[in-house]
Amino acid sequence: MQPSDKIFIAGHRGLVGSALVRQLRSLGFENLLLRSRQELDLEDIAAVRAFFEKERPRHVFFAAAKVGGILANSSYPADFIHDNLLIQLSVIGAAQATNVEKMLFLGSSCIYPKLAEQPIREESLLTGELEPTNEAYAIAKIAGIIMCRSFNRQYGTRFISAMPTNLYGEGDNFERAGSHVLPALMRRFHDAKLANQDEIVVWGSGSPRREFLHVDDMADASIHLMRVWAETADDGSVVGGQNALNEIVNIGYGEDVSIRDLAELVAELVGYRGTLRFDTSMPDGTPRKLLDSTRLRATGWRPRISLRDGIARTYEWFLAHPAVARLG
Ligand code: GDP
């Protein structure tokens, strides 16, 4: 991947896509192909095909997806499976038809079975039942992985799938109902601090464990994977001792925390001093989600941003963007 290469970042306004744009630009990549939803509807198969035929990107970071937290996923499962399948059909098909050299397809750690052995290795894919709260989304993402793998086998494409752990950071979704736990709690603690509220509700029991990776580390790992892979693609594509083209690569931080500990850390960094009340009528979701990132680590990559620093940075960003704090 050279700085002059034309690179399409599908989903460049999202959490991961915007971090990728920041990082690629800071590395001197100037030929980035970006389209807003108004300019290009990724669910429109014909429009996406025409776009690829006209623009001919050399590399693609596939960061476009319909995503949401536990409540959004369990409330709108039809939208999650439908929209993601369509986006994937469009982009993967067009990338193959126009000979994209390499594509990194981004999924999510929820593709793994609910009770997968922890830390979760890539080999756990399709070995057990999924977590019901996000099954529809997970099935769509699994279809994307299998599509990439199948296209590689049948057409000789170079589509690799990366599965990030729970991500957070600048540009996250801070809406009240649809967001993920970290931005949701940050906003709730912030509001409670301003309102001098002495108690705050945290969903579920507080005992589920999650792993969090700052989105800048995610962008860094994604670019790293594209590069490492480029170096080895001609001699059989070896990443971390595995055949990368038919494999998936986990992108994790390496440590997890309980939701209770996370809530306490966010409260501390936001400066909220009230008490936490755990609302067990809300779903816990999967009990633990920690990725085994050995395959990625074997390529020499390490995360740089600790959870504490990452939350502090995210809160600074939140404070600097007052419109975000007014979302519904
Ligand atoms: P998940 O990793 O797919 O389960 O997605 P989430 O980030 O939505 O939820 C992670 C865990 O945090 C679950 O156990 C939730 O019940 C818990 N949680 C606690 N408070 C909140 C909250 O305010 N919003 C969300 N989304 N999750 C919360």
Q: Coil, strand or helix: which one is 59?
A: strand
| Tens-digit pLDDT profile for residues 242-263 | 455 557 999 999 999 999 999 9
What is the CATH topology of the domain spanning 7-320? Answer: Rossmann fold (3.40.50)
Q: Looking at the CA of residue 259, tell me the nearest atom of ligand 1.
A: 12
Q: Looking at the CA of residue 134, tell me the nearest atom of ligand 1.
A: 3
Instruction: State the distance from the centre of ligand 1 to the C-alpha of 265, rounded, in angstroms.
Output: 15
Nearest residue (CA) to ligand 1, atom 20: 203
261-297 in b/e burial notation, b at 16+ Cβ within 10 A? ebbebbbebbebeeebebeeeebbbbebbbbbbebbe
What's the whole-number average pLDDT of the chain?
Answer: 92
Closest listed residue to residue 211, CA positions, set 168, 254, 256: 256
The Cα–Cα gap between 139 and 279 comes to 29
Residue 235 has pLDDT above 70, yes or no: no
Q: How confident is the model at residue 227 (pLDDT cuts 50, 70, 90)?
A: confident
CB atoms within 10 A of CB 77: 18
Q: What is the pLDDT of residue 242?
A: 41
Q: What is the pLDDT of residue 68?
A: 87
Residue 325 has pLDDT above 80, yes or no: no
Q: Is the CB of 110 under 6 A from ligand 1?
A: yes
CB 169 within 8 A of CB 215: yes
Nearest residue (CA) to ligand 1, atom 25: 181
253 catalytic? Reply is no
